[in-house]
Structure 1
């Protein structure tokens, strides 16, 4: 049974392209750019082809092309012009993000890998992650909140991004590790499963030659005692995306301080959406919060 989404509302097109629904309707009437279909109950909807076209039209419009000019082009000419513009390096990310969104919505793994392979010919993996994957993930969060996509879409593209991360982390395993005593233990708190950010930090640390212990999702605080008997200088790193919830963070950090950081010089570094509300000057000793992964990396 085919469960791929092939029908989109005008609100879906607005959320995916950034073009207001009101503007899309004007473009339809004035320039005949799109031809929505109707269900048996007379509800308007758009096809995958319409979605791809609105993404291309939005891309051209954002790059200075007037809608009157775009509307005079055929679909093939629009696609050709987009490809010409994206051959200029500065425009690669925007086009790639649109292609990756389309691959997510249609569960098209081939398009995901094709887009990635085109990027990797021009950029490093780190540039791709920061300039393409992270903005994509941010937009996916918005699409999920507006119910434009389902968890299935998010999991599909997140799994593919994780695969690329794992491949590049494995490449960094051959990097000779520095003669440093510091060990980084990377973990997510209980009931937290969003590990892409933590995986990127693991990639950054390994690329700089640090030794890491990656524990991953949903680790009870008590279990973090185990590395303490083996290493003296540990920096624990965690990423709070949805857990612990804001009203529980202070208590979580106090318990962590008493359980893991008591009578030693170890540290805890945290970041993520849930950590952004913390008052830095009120954090327990040994605990630091960072706004972004880049901020954390600068602190190494």
Structure 2
């Protein structure tokens, strides 16, 4: 059975396009910009074509095209106009829309086609910051509003991970820029690794020695790394685990079992860092509220 979501509410369109449901209704009534379908009980709903149209119209509207003008243009001309506009103006918003559409329809080919259209125009780093991070930020909102399911998030995250892994493979593996070893890991039961994978990419591309351990690593395994390397900086990304209630006890355990010498350091990223108490910190622990705040320092060092 094909269970791909192909029916959308007006609230789904709002969440995916950024255009308020009230505005969409006005556009429908005044300009017939969309033609909603109706259930037997007269509840409006929209198909994939409507979603694609509203995403394209959102792009053109953001570049100054009036809805009254767009309403008069044939459906098959709208995508051509988008392509022409994006030839001379920013691609980012439309690219994110295409990635969202690929996610909603589990469309690997659309994702790859959109990515390939970017790679000749932007560096991978630019693609990640300009397109993937905004997409991932939106996914959080879409998931919370029940517009998407965890399956959608897993699908698009896996495709981004593939690109990250491919780009990381191209980097030299024998780096040792500052004499430290950067060990990247996720805590036990944490599986959200995209951010950590990108930090690993940034470290390696800037000439630092990075060892990537991946998801759900127990503290005992982290401590064991000190038997193999000196001058370690551990890097972790905490999104959902440890939980808010347990994160401070987790930091305390790291201080006792891992950060118990004068040279081992810890850098912590992720949403749950906001719940780490200042009293839990020490001089060898640093919190970051964004990847960019850290990776920009790498490029400054390289200048």
TM-score range, shorter chain: over 0.9
Cross-structure match for 2:164? 165
Instruction: Using the TM superposition, give the Cα deviation of residue 282 of structure 1 relative to its aligned residue in structure 2, in angstroms.
Output: 5.7
Aligned to 1:263: 261
Whether contact under 8 Å (1:175, 1:207) holds in the other structure is no
SS at match of 1:246: coil
DSSP-derived class of the 1:251 partner: helix
Q: Which secondary structure does the structure 2 equivalent of 1:91 belong to?
A: coil
Cross-structure match for 1:127: 126
Determine the structure 1 residue equivalent to 2:109: 110
Q: Does the CA-based 8 Å contact 1:254-1:284 persist in structure 2?
A: no
What residue number does 2:151 align with?
Answer: 152
Distance 1:280 1:31 in 2: 55
Corresponding position of 1:136: 135
Q: 1:188 matched to which residue of 2?
A: 186
Q: Which residue of 2 aligns with 1:226?
A: 224
- Give the conservation status (yes or no) of the 8 Å contact 2:248–2:280: no
Offset at residue 298 of structure 1 (A): 3.6
In structure 2, distance between residues paired with 1:86 and 1:218: 41
Whole-Å separation in 2 of the counterparts to 1:181 and 1:145: 43
Q: Distance in 1 between matches of 2:76 and 2:140?
A: 32
1:292 to 290, 293, 298: 290
Aligned to 2:199: 201
Counterpart for residue 95 of structure 2: 96
1:33 aligns with 33
CA distance in 2, matches of 1:176, 1:261: 26
2:56–2:78 CA contact under 8 A, matched in 1:
yes
Aligned to 1:246: 244
- CA offsets, 1:86-105, max 9 Å, x none? 112x4211110000000000
Report deviation, 1:44: 1.4
1:181 to partner: Cα distance: 2.0
Which ranges in structure 1 are unaligned for 5 or more consecutive residues? none
Preserved CA contact (<8 Å) 1:280 1:289: no
CA gap of 1:133–1:179, structure 2 versus 1, over 3 A, is closer
Q: CA deviation at 1:297?
A: 2.1
- SS of corresponding position for 2:255: helix
Deviating runs (4+, > 6 A) in structure 1?
A: none
Aligned partner of 2:301 in structure 1 is none
Q: What is the CA–CA distance in structure 1 between the aligned matches of 2:39 and 2:67, rounded to whole Å? A: 28
Q: 1:134 to 1:143 in 2, by over 3 A?
A: same
Residues 203 and 182 (structure 1), Cα distance of their counterparts in 2 relative to 1, 3 Å cut: same
TM-superposed deviation, 1:286: 1.0
SS in 2 for 1:288: strand
Q: Deviations over 1:190-241 (max 9, x none)?
A: 1110000000000001101211111111111111122101111000000011
TM-score, normalised on structure 2? 0.95
Q: Is the 8 A contact 2:252 2:280 kept in 1?
A: no
Instruction: Give the superposition deviation at 1:295.
Output: 1.3
SS at match of 2:142: helix
Cα distance in 2 between the residues matched to 1:210 and 1:146: 40
Q: For residues 297 and 280 of structure 1, do their structure 2 counterparts lie closer, same or farther at Cα, with a shift above 3 Å needed?
A: farther
The two structures, once aligned, show a CA RMSD in angstroms of: 1.4
Describe the SS at the equivalent of 1:218. Answer: strand
Cα deviation, residue 166, structure 1: 0.2
1:72-113 per-position Cα deviation (integer Å, ceiling 9, x unaligned): 11112211111111112x421111000000000011110000
